[in-house]
Structure formats: structure tokens, C-alpha cells
Amino acid sequence: MKLRNILLLSAISMMALDSCSDKMNYNEYNVYDKSYIDEMFGRVGGFMTKIYNDLDYDFGNYSGAMLSSATDESVYSHPGNTIEHFYNGAWSPTDPMNSVWSTAWDGISYCNLFLDQFTGLTFPDYVLDLHYAEEMNQYHNYTYEARWARAYFYFELVRQYKDIPLKIHDMTADEANKLPQVPSDSIFKFIDSECAAIQDSIISDYTTVGYPTKSESGRANKLAVMALRARAALYHASPLFNPGNDKNLWLEAAKRSYELIQEATNEGKGLCNNYQKLFVSDSWSDPNAQKEIIFGRRTAASNSFEKYNYPIGLENAGGGNCPTQNLVDAFEMKNGKAIGEDGSGYNPQNPYANRDSRLSFIVARNGEVWPSDTLKTYVGGANSSSVTYGTPTGYYLKKYINQSTIIKNSSSNSFYHIWITFRLGEFYLDYAEAVLNYTGDGYAKPAEMSMTAADAINKIRNRAGQPNIVTGLSFGEFKKKYENERFVELAFEGHRFFDLRRWKEAPDYLTTIRKMTIVKNNDGTYTYTPDTLETRKWKDAWYLFPFPQKDVLNCGYKQNPNY
């Protein structure tokens, strides 16, 4: 566990963070000399950049595999990748798959160090500088940004490990490693109280600061604070953390998402009118996309994600995170009916006709041009499972990929990629879930709120061109419709892994992974046969991450159940 004190040593300049909008124009320091850092505003800004760089994103965190490939969203096409440890029995205290454990505790330590040792500075040598007042305004905001980041890191930890230590001050390694675990309820209350304390003080709009004049949407602002508060409240209310189904927690979650939606609307934000535009390289500068994005990270220009996920058959392509038939089947027909529902019009031998438009934005399938050639995922085809690392499911990923990227040895190019941490669309869904579970009725609303769960879901469905959710559904039927809508809308955004766990529904969805087998007939037509690709294990221990064994031994943590 890295609850250790950060050493204050000599400073070394590192690369600056590329944020979702414009760069944060400060250097990052990975080792510190306090007197050196607190001399200049820009050096303290570099300290904050280090904190932001510890925030998570997933463009292939497991050697190219995304966390989606540990769920029913996708299968990674390279057998033996460590992502398989989540479901093949290897996941354990000695193989803890702790992708955020170290970075989150590092981030918390840096936040505590900043809050304890780098607040209250005045930079007297720069009082006469032209932009001193604007710089001090930003500097004072760092306190709120650090508190937000610390709360975010705690959210990342609590949703994976549940009962964890609560460290809110800079301290020695020995002091930190003696901290007791506290119940998840206390961690969620800490996150809520921190967000409540800062949301009206943190800068709402960085364009109003005056210097630098450009927008920096890669920094936490009021909406980012409210978004974290709302998401954490939803998790707190969910069955994994709320086994007694305390309705008050659902009401609080509904309030938090409702307040965020209202504030976003008041600030002129709303849903992007083109779902696909949210996930392309220029979404950071597209006003339409920026309407919906609350907080995101723009990575440095790269073609690594395309190399991981372009179809096998292209030079240097890896196949990558291949969408499952489970996901494809979740996309309704354009008439709003599920493919197996009476009157849907679904044709098993023309399976992609008249489907929800989001399917074509997310999934690349046989016969379409992607990225520049016609895909041949039928048995024996150039992009099929017949080729090493070819798709095992019959599909390839489109979401996040820049179709203009070239990855040839003789010619290549690179583009930015945007990982959206919070977007407004999520919170319409979060609100719907909370209201549904509070009222027990998809068509009812709390007295102090103006939307039903159906109203909120319809905002998302209508943006995609889908009709309103049907009326007259029972609680269970509505819940199933809601969960399916969330599966589709938020695919590959890092939610599915945790949604199925917080709902305590993982074994219902994660044990059978399905594919589409396509045979090309002599007359050039195709025969489509959905089938089981693999049957995976499930253990209830896997609702939570195991604490690394070394930390159980060194810090005395109580291991999570059934490990």
C-alpha cells in the first residue's frame, strides 16, 4: 500500500498534462523540494498537474485490454492477456489486479501533502506581476481542486475495496500504515461532505479567470464536483453498499443527479445532438460535444489505441477489444422493441437492419467498410477468428477509434483521444435509477423533482432516435429496460464492470459470453448463427477486489470476503 509520505527532494521537470480542452500550462514534478516549489506559482501548478495525472482512464490498461473485456461487453482477442484473471480464477490477494490501488493512494498522498504544506502561499516576489491577481485566483482554487481529486481517488478505492483506511492528512509511512479500515458508509459520507463543502467555492468556468484566457475543461469545476457527488451517491444507494435497501439513500442519489442536471442546464449545457461526436478526437474542441462533457482527459496524440483495436488483417493491427453478441443483442430495433420481442421485425439473417443507431457507432460488423476496407469476419475471412488474434466474437470496436488513423510501417499518423470521466448523459440514467428504486415506479416522481424515471431515460433514447419507453411496465420490467439502456448508452465507458457488481447481478450476465458465427455461402449470401463463445466462472468474492496480500500482512487489513 502506498500510504507513505511523499519525499521532499530535488525537483525534476516532467511533461505537462494534456487535458480534455487545452493544456494545463505547468510543469509536473515527481520529487519535491518544498522551498523550491513554493517560490513560484507555476511550480505549484506543476504539483497539481501530478495530481491530475493520477486520475484514471482506460484506453487499454491491461496490456491493451480494457476493463470491458472482463465483462459481457467485449472479449480481448489475445488469449492469455491478464484481463482473463478477472474471470479464470487467477484473481486473488497474490494476483490482486490492483490497477488503481497504487495510483489512487499516491494521488491521495499528493493531495494531502498539498493541502497541508502548500496552501496559504503569497508568492511575494511576484506581487508586481501583471497577472498576479489572476494567478492568485487560480492558486486559491487549487485547494478545492485537490479536495475534489482526493474525494475522487477515495471513490475509486471504495467502489473496488469497500472498507478502506481514511487518510486526510500528510503523515509518515508508519503512521499511514497503522490507520484502520473504516466502513464504506463512512467513506461515502466523507466524499459527500467534501463535495458539499467545495461545490459552491470552486471555479465554475475557467474562461472567467482572465489568465490564461483559454478554457481548461480538463480541470475540476463546480459541475465536476457535483458529478462526483452524484455518482458516489448512486453507488452508496446500490445493493452492494446498501444491503438493507435504505430508501433514503436512493432519494439522496436522485437529488444529487437532479441538482447536477439543473445546474448544467442553467450553465447552458445539455445533451450533444450526435452521440458519435462525443467520442471522436476533436470532441475536446467541438462546442456540441462540449455541451455534454463535464470532465474528461485528452491524452497526448497517439495511435496506440488504433493499433490495439483495428481489425486483424490490417498492417500492425491487434484485433483488440471485440464487442460480444451479448452487447449487440442489447441494441433494440428502431421501433423500440427488443430483438426477441413480438412485433420487433427482427430478421436473424439480416440481423443489423433497422437497429438502434448507436449500434453502428459502437460496433464494426461483417460487410461494412471499417476503417477503410470491407470487413470480412465470416469463417475463413481476412478479419475473422481464423486469423491469429482475429475477432473471437465476429465484431470489432469502433467507439473512441479515429478512422483516419494510419498505422502502417511506411506511413503513420496520430490523433488525440478523449476519455470522458463524467458526461451529462450518465446522470439522466443515474437519476432514472435512483428515482425508480426510491418510488418503486418508473412513471412516478418524488414531490420535489419534475422528472420520472421514464422522462429521464427518454432523454437518452430520443437523442439516439429511439421512441419513448413503453408505458405500463412493472417495477421489474422497467428495471430490466433501464439496465439494458445503460448497457447500450455507456458501453466501453468503464461502467459495466462496476454496475453489475453494485447491483449484485454479475453472475446473471458474466458467465455466458456469446459470439456471432458467420458463414459465407456459395451464392455470396451469409448465414448468421449466434452461439456461445465461452462459459466463464463466477465467485461471489469477485464483487470486490482483494486487498494485496502484502498489505493484509503489513497493515493488518481484514481481507474482503471469500478470498
DSSP string, 196-235: HHHTTTS-S-GGGS-SS-S--TTS--HHHHHHHHHHHHHH
Handedness of CA 500, 505, 511, 517 (dihedral sign): negative
Tell me if 307 sits within 8 A of 63, measured CB to CB. Answer: no
Q: Is residue 62 classed as helix, strand or coil in its secondary structure?
A: strand
Mean pLDDT over 222-231 rounds to 99
Say how far apart CA 436 and CA 454 lie, in whole Å.
9
**Torsion sign, CA atoms 32, 37, 41, 43:** negative
How far is 514 from 72, CA to CA, in rounded Å? 8
Mean pLDDT of 484-500: 99
Contact 76, 85 (CB under 8 A): no
Q: How many CB atoms lie under 10 A from the CB of residue 174?
A: 9
Q: pLDDT value at position 549?
A: 95
pLDDT at 20 over 80: no
Q: What is the DSSP letter of 3?
A: -
Task: Name, in order, each residue with C-beta under 8 angstroms of 256's C-beta and a sequence gap of 6 or more.
Answer: 226, 229, 230, 233, 234
pLDDT above 60 for 400: yes
| Residue (of 41, 206, 210) closest to 127 by Cα position | 41
Q: Which cell goes with 118?
A: 502548500
Taken as a whole, the chain contains a residue count of: 563
- The pLDDT, as a whole number, for residue 210 is 63
Q: What share of the chain is helix, strand, coil (3-state, %, to 5)?
A: 40, 10, 50
Say what the alpha-carbon torsion angle 85, 400, 235, 237 is, to the nearest 10 degrees: -130
- Given this model, what pLDDT does residue 212 score? 55
How far apart are the C-alpha atoms of 114 and 121, rounded to whole Å?
11
pLDDT for 215 equals: 55
Pull the grid cell for residue 58. Answer: 482506460
Amino acid making up residue 312: I
SS3 369: strand
Residues with Cβ within 8 Å of 266's Cβ and at least 6 positions away in sequence, in order, are: none
The answer to whether residues 286 and 293 touch, using CB atoms and an 8 Å cutoff, is no
Give per-residue pLDDT as tens, 509-523. 999 999 999 999 999
DSSP of 305-349: HHHHHSPBTBTT----EEEPHHHHHHSPBTTS--TTSTT----TT
Q: Is 110 exposed, middle or buried (0-12, 13-18, 19+ CB in 10 A)?
A: buried
Q: Does the global pTM surpass 0.85? A: yes
- 203-225 exposure pattern, b = at least 16 Cβ within 10 A, e = fewer: beebeebeebeebbbbbbbbbbb
Residue 10: phi and psi, rounded to 5, are: -75, 150
* Count of other CB atoms within 10 angstroms of residue 313: 18
Question: Is residue 99 very low, low, confident or very high in pLDDT (cuts 50, 70, 90)?
Answer: confident
Gap between the Cα atoms of 34 and 371, Å rounded: 50
Q: Tell me whether the omega of the peptide bond preceding residue 371 falls within 30 degrees of 0, making it cis.
A: yes
Inter-CA distances, 360 with 108, 301, 353, 363, 403, Å: 40, 25, 10, 6, 14
Task: Pick 66 or 12 by higher pLDDT.
Answer: 66
CA distance to 128, 308, 510, per residue, from 93 (Å): 56, 29, 21
> For residue range 342-389, what is the model confidence (pLDDT) as tens digits?
999 999 999 999 999 999 999 999 999 999 999 999 999 999 999 999
The secondary element (H helix, E strand) that includes residue 550 is: helix 549-555
Residue 287's SS3 state is helix
| Helices (H), ranges, 402-548 | 424-439, 453-463, 475-489, 496-502, 506-510
Nearest-angstrom CA–CA distance, 264 and 258: 10
Which of 19-28, 115-124, 361-370 bottoms out in mean pLDDT, i.e. has the lowest? 19-28
Asked whether the predicted pLDDT for residue 499 surpasses 50, the reply is yes
* pLDDT for 8 beyond 60: no
Residue 520 parent element (H or E): strand 512-520
CA distance 48 to 19: 13
The single-letter DSSP state of residue 273 is S
Max Cα distance, the chain (Å)? 81
Q: Share the mean pLDDT of the chain.
A: 93
